[in-house]
Amino acid sequence: MKKILQYLKKFYADYFSWVELSIALIFLVGFCFLRYFKFIPSDYGELSLLTSWWYKAYFTNYKFSFHFALYLSPLIIGYIVSSIVHKDWNIWTNPKFIFLVLFGVAVFSFRTNLTFIVNDALVQFANYEHFDWLKSVLGTIARGSFVFLSILVYWYFTDKEDQPFYGFTKKNFDTKPYFVMLLIMVPLIALASTQPDFLESYPRVQKFSSLDFANSAHWKHFALYEFLYGLDFFSIEFFFRGFMILAFVGIVGPRAIIPMAYIYVVIHWNKPMGELISSFFGGSLLGIVAYYSRSILGGIIAHVGIAWMMEIGAFISKYFYP
């Protein structure tokens, strides 16, 4: 933990601004209002404004456009706030910065849209007993593969000579602090596992109605799903703390961290509010670590570990001690 504390102290000394943090927290509160405050009547009951927009985009086939705007807006807001607070607007005249912003948002928006593309492509297998499971598994593989390959191509032609593949390095990496972080999270996850809104979302495997925990033949399906579920967070960590920090580092330096946390909050819009709020602080912390260590391996351990711990906690709470 000593190393992580050193990174935090360095960030505080080099860059931190209470004004920038305060504005970020105001954004967080405003986004929670848009997402969780239900005030629009619809055929599906009362919806929040953001959820209503998503339904409109879904049924009019503007899913990519919706997600592009959803992800681009907080990232731009984060960088505008950074420019105001730190009185530096030079990045907005840098073509590489503009390209990276648009490229990154486009990649992640298409990643999100791949879920729908895979679902449509698999319609011919609708009679398969575990069709929902199949869509989820293949969707996870498609999303992760697309993110890695897209960014690999960019890195190969632009940053290959300057840095390892966006954080995949063991230099400055020590596993111990991250396992300590996971231990600290155990009581917090145990507490969350008693909350109704948490158990509505977790364990994620509960969404597969064709699978039965009591049927031993189904456990191979659960095991494969949980394995790939962890790998999905692997790709998330790579994108946000690898690409969104380390690809930008030569242009904006530590200014990349807070805007990254803005967009990281927004991708949690379909999660419980507590998880969405905590994503800002967890994403910022992992961003600071990635920036100063130039490695995302620790973040991968923390992120994937917490995801699996949440699954285990919810599973125990829901099926062993209901």
- Name the residue among 200, 267, 188 with its Cα closest to residue 235: 267
- Secondary structure (3-state) at 45: strand
In sequence order, the 6+-apart residues with CB closer than 8 A to the CB of 270 are none
Where does 89-159 have alpha helices with state H? 95-121, 131-158
Measured distance CA(74)–CA(296) in Å, rounded: 23
- Name the residue among 221, 233, 100 with its Cα closest to residue 155: 100
Residue 30 has what pLDDT? 93
Residue 320 has what pLDDT? 67
Phi, psi of 47 (to 5 degrees): -120, 155
Phi, psi of 43 (to 5 degrees): -65, -15
The CA angle 174-180-183, to the nearest 5 degrees, is 150
Contact 68, 263 (CB under 8 A): no
Write the DSSP assignment of 51-71 as a string of letters.
HHHHHHHHHTT-HHHHHHHHH
Provide the residue-wise pLDDT of the chain in tens; the chain has 322 residues: 677 888 889 998 888 899 999 999 999 999 999 898 877 776 667 788 888 888 888 888 899 999 999 999 999 999 999 999 999 999 999 999 999 999 999 999 999 999 999 988 998 888 888 888 899 999 999 999 999 999 999 999 998 888 889 888 887 777 877 888 888 888 888 888 887 777 777 888 778 888 777 777 788 888 898 889 888 888 999 999 999 999 998 899 999 999 999 999 999 988 888 889 989 998 999 899 899 988 898 888 888 888 888 888 888 877 666 5
Q: Enter the pTM of the model.
A: 0.86
For the chain, the domains span: 2-320
For residue 252, give both structure tokens: 């904006």
Contact 222, 210 (CB under 8 A): no
In sequence order, the 6+-apart residues with CB closer than 8 A to the CB of 133 are 208, 210, 211, 221, 225
As to burial, measured by CB atoms within 10 angstroms (0-12 exposed, 13-18 middle, 19+ buried), residue 166 is buried
As to burial, measured by CB atoms within 10 angstroms (0-12 exposed, 13-18 middle, 19+ buried), residue 322 is exposed
Contact 284, 261 (CB under 8 A): yes
Inter-residue long-range contacts of 38-47, CB under 8 Å, 24+ positions, other chains counted:
none
Residue 189 has what pLDDT? 86
Instruction: Report the 10 Å Cβ neighbour count for 275.
Output: 16
- Secondary structure (3-state) at 47: strand
As to burial, measured by CB atoms within 10 angstroms (0-12 exposed, 13-18 middle, 19+ buried), residue 87 is exposed
For residue 22, give both structure tokens: 């305060």
In sequence order, the 6+-apart residues with CB closer than 8 A to the CB of 273 are 32, 35, 36, 197
